[in-house]
Amino acid sequence: MGGAGYIGSHAVYEMVRAGHEVVVMDNLSTGSRDMVHPDARFRAGDIRVHGDLRQVFIAEQRPDAPPFDVVLHFAAKLVVPESMTQPLEYYHNNVEGVRLMLATMVDYNVRNVVFSSTAAVYGNPVGDGTCIEDTPANPINPYGASKLAAENLIRWVSEAHDMNYCIFRYFNVAGADASLEIGLLKDHLTHLIPVALQAGLGLRASMMVLGNDYPTPDGTCVRDYIHVTDLAKAHVLGAEYLLESQTSLLANLGSGTGFSVTQVLAEAEKHIHVPHSYGERRPGDPAKLVASNEVARTVLGWEPTLDLGDMISSDLAFRRKSNAL
Ligand SMILES: NC(=O)c1ccc[n+]([C@@H]2O[C@H](COP(=O)([O-])OP(=O)(O)OC[C@H]3O[C@@H](n4cnc5c(N)ncnc54)[C@H](O)[C@@H]3O)[C@@H](O)[C@H]2O)c1
């Protein structure tokens, strides 16, 4: 669900590369048909519409087995400032959509779900900013709250209906597939790396660093960045883990290393000049957010292989190639 979007399309590419058969359902609200791997089947539909879900499950029904082994969910709305002004819309898409998806899975006896969650569920964690999976979740915006509500719904439904889940909490995702066939296309970007590269490409006059007086080594916020291809590969491992182990899992997906805004800009400057200025802190931004990725490493054997330089160079190459400016 949502396999025509940024992260979903990369997960589909890795699933196909690993030899799996994939069906993508997407309403193309922010995704694009061109992002769907040519070997995956595409079915247009909205997960908030029970009839759309049923149509896909019926169309893919197999004679003696459930239509799907695993459902992967990426079909969310995820722009934090937008969620502040549209909480009803965010809960409708991100929670009601998940409820209907789970109800349809129960109806068709599909027992495994991989869910894209987010570090936003942690809010402003107490301590040194390192998030482990049992760090108390305390979201500070409707986006994070809607994703946490969906996580909780998945847990309860799994318990009641004998399902297994793999919930992944992503940190800051960036980069593009090495083929440069897919990447980040959206134009309402608020993430540091695409915004910096847009400024570098002259598509914004400049970019503003929001606060340089945080209690971090250089005063700018520290975040954990993860390459979208490493993230996508974790989904293959997560789906296979569910099928093999019939056990549920909650895991952070991050590199485990923090980079400040200044460090990210310095890395970007190796490729392109990024005009930038400094402004006030944005309310609600914690000084540091970094993942503990021990669970994904030990349980799934997952290992991030691409670094910050790879994220920046692949995003820039994709933008230049596709005019995804
Ligand atoms: N991009 C990030 O940095 C990031 C970080 C943390 C978590 N996430 C999570 O990853 C997931 C995917 O994010 P993304 O960056 O790929 O976003 P995206 O907007 O590129 O992809 C979302 C996809 O879902 C589709 N979609 C949305 N609502 C739908 C609905 N009701 N029915 C059918 N399709 C629908 C969209 O058309 C799009 O193709 C989301 O669940 C998000 O919460 C993303």
Q: Whose CA is nearest to atom 35 of ligand 1?
A: 75
- Domain CATH number, residue 73: 3.40.50.720
276: containing domain: 6-188+217-260+265-322
Which residues are CB-neighbours of 319 under 8 A, at least 6 positions away? 183, 194, 197, 198, 201, 325
200 belongs to a structural domain? no
Which pLDDT belongs to residue 284?
78
Residue 197 lies in a domain: no
- For residue 325, pLDDT over 60 is answered with no
Q: How far is the CA of 277 from the centre of ligand 1 (A)?
A: 30
Distance CA 310, CA 102 (A): 36
204 domain-assigned: no
For residue range 29-75, list pLDDT tens digits in order.
999 999 999 999 999 999 999 999 999 999 999 889 999 999 999 99
Angle at 213 between CA 292 and CA 261, to 5 degrees: 50
pLDDT of residue 286 exceeding 90, the answer is no
In a domain, 194, yes or no: no
- Which residue lies with its CA nearest to atom 26 of ligand 1? 75
Q: Is residue 202 part of a domain?
A: no
Q: Is the CB of 5 under 6 A from ligand 1?
A: yes
Listed in sequence order, the residues at least 6 apart from 34 whose beta carbon sits closer than 8 Å to its beta carbon are none
Give pLDDT tens digits for 219-275.
999 999 999 999 999 999 999 999 999 999 999 999 999 999 999 999 999 999 999
The C-alpha angle 221, 226, 229, rounded to 5 degrees, equals 160
Residue 116 Cβ inside 6 Å of ligand 1? The answer reads yes
* Of residues 102, 97, 72, the one with CA closest to residue 238: 72
Q: How does 134-148 read in b/e, with b if 16+ C-beta sit within 10 Å?
A: ebebebbbbbbbbbb
- The count of residues in the chain is 325
What pLDDT score does 322 carry?
Answer: 83
Non-local CB neighbours of 314 within 8 Å, separated by 6+ positions:
175, 176, 177, 178, 180, 183, 227
CB 53 within 8 A of CB 95: no
- Is the CB of 48 inside a 6 Å radius of any atom of ligand 1? yes
Q: Which of 26, 92, 231 to mutate to test the pocket of ligand 1 (most atoms within 8 A of CB)?
A: 26
CA–CA gap between residue 55 and residue 33 (Å, rounded): 19
Domains identified in the chain, total number: 1
Alpha carbon nearest to ligand 1 atom 18, residue: 5
258: Cβ below 6 Å to ligand 1? no
pLDDT band at residue 108 under the 50/70/90 scheme: very high
Establish if 210 belongs to a structural domain.
Answer: no
pLDDT at 155: 98
CA of 52 to the centre of ligand 1 (A): 18
Catalytic status, residue 143: yes
Which one is catalytic: 90, 91, 122, 143?
A: 143
Q: Residue 207: inside a domain, yes or no?
A: no
Residue 199 inside a domain? The answer is no
Ligand 1 pocket residue status of 175, Cβ below 6 Å? no
